Copies of this chain bind each other. A is one copy, B any other.
Amino acid sequence: MHALLEQIANIVGGGNVLTGDDVAQRRVDWMTSASCRAAAIVRPATTDELARVMRLCHAARQPVVTHGGLTGLVHGGEASPEELVISLERMNVIEAVDPVSGTMTVQAGAPLQTVQEAAEAHDLTFPLDLGARGSCTIGGNIATNAGGVRVIRYGMMRQQVLGLEAVLADGTVVSSMSRMLKNNAGYDLKQLFIGSEGTLGIVTRAVLRLQPRMASEHTALVACPDFAGVTGLLAHMGRSLGGSLATFEVMWRNHYALLTEESGRNTPPLPARWPFYAIIESLGNDDALNATQFSAALESAFEAGLIEDAVLAQSDTQRQGIWAIREDIEGLIDTLAPLFTFDVSLPIPDMPGYADELERSIRQRWPEGRLVVFGHLGDGNLHVSVSVGSTDPETRAAVEQLVYAPLAELGGSVSAEHGIGLEKRAYLPLSRTPEEISLMRTLKQALDPQGLLNRHKILAPEE
């Protein structure tokens, strides 16, 4: 290892091979604040430096773990003392913006928020948005196919990527930096690297698709009488607003009440007595038209009995007040800790039955147990938090079983947007068939036969 690190230092510079305390003081997990245990952290400045580092690692059969903003939730950043960390923190440059074609060329280490702001400077928008925007990086967003609160309008990260560059396990640079919206010239190789959590290659640069900036944003918080109201409202708003519907987030009462009246953490814009709450946003550019369309849609939803009560944000402060409830993850941790958090998808019609049954089965086993549910309902994606007073491994396994097992029958997924990492490996077979997992192994073997990249993430070692 020592000789290898010296060779690597010759490429990236001695100051960019961190060891000892410089490694240990780095937190690899946002939820647990666990320390980095890697042998060293290597910080290349360019794709070429990284390619040369990987050629050395390949020759030495040295496994590596790639680090972006470390905001993941499935232990994707975990590294053992036998592994090196490749951190892309120095490759954070926005290389170019083409406002006519609506594209931006960026290095993987650029934070999401920086990218959003650079687009706005050209009167455009980069539509991916999630709570971790200040810390998460574009490379991490790509490697995990990040979702967020605008998926219903703009799709996940996969749909924002036009071109991509990655370094393979043997140091080969695969550069597919197409700026084209349409490019059917052979296999679309970038798809391999999007959402494969760094196990098939290290994403180094990308060409992102930008969208016209929508200056007029309208936000409402509504209360629904029942789940039929929620799904009816989703269909109604989709039909009424068409391409203007940008967000449809739902909070079960157990979530809304906890973070408002019960804990006092946030002021409730509506009383916490209804079973479901939705945050709905509309995006447009003609503010008068957009406002008329939005209120008309809400009014007709009210008349149709789909909603019981509603508040339209009249200012940015009111809008932030509504979102503060939805994004108060700290509040969840403070009020529920110790807790387990989950990120599942399932068919929308099955959601209320799933959540009710889960609450029942948790209470049956842990009478003091609590379940809190919210999520991107328009995307079929729920975030479930469970608190049963302990997080020991047996308890974890028991809770995971209750949360995940029903998904197999419903055709749902154990991971909607967070990925598999180490955290959900054992449950992958609940969402994927043996043939699918076998094909994943075929791909891993074809691209990284020595198993050097984020090893044992997603796919556990074969027995």
Contact = CB atoms under 8 A, between A and B. Distances in A.
Interface in A396-455: 411-420, 424, 428, 431-433, 435-440, 442-443, 445-447
Contacts of A195: 184, 187-188
Interface string A245-260: 1000000000000000
Interface in A214-268: 214, 231, 235, 238-240, 242-245
B235 A100 contact: yes
B413 A182 contact: yes
Contacts of A173: 435
A428 to B, nearest CB: 6
A72 to B, nearest CB: 11
A331 to B, nearest CB: 24
Nearest to A244: B243
Contacts of A168: 439
Interface in A335-358: 345-349
Interface in A172-222: 172-189, 191-192, 194-196, 200, 211-214
Contacts of A346: 180
Contacts of A412: 180
Interface in A320-376: 345-349, 376
Interface stretch (A14-22, A132-140, A149-157): A149-157
Top 4 nearest A-B pairs (CB, nearest first) are A243-B243, A191-B191, A446-B446, A212-B238
Given A100-B348, A186-B428, 17 more contacts: A101-B349, A123-B239, A147-B182, A151-B182, A168-B439, A173-B435, A174-B436, A179-B380, A180-B380, A182-B345, A182-B416, A186-B431, A187-B440, A192-B443, A212-B238, A239-B285, A243-B284
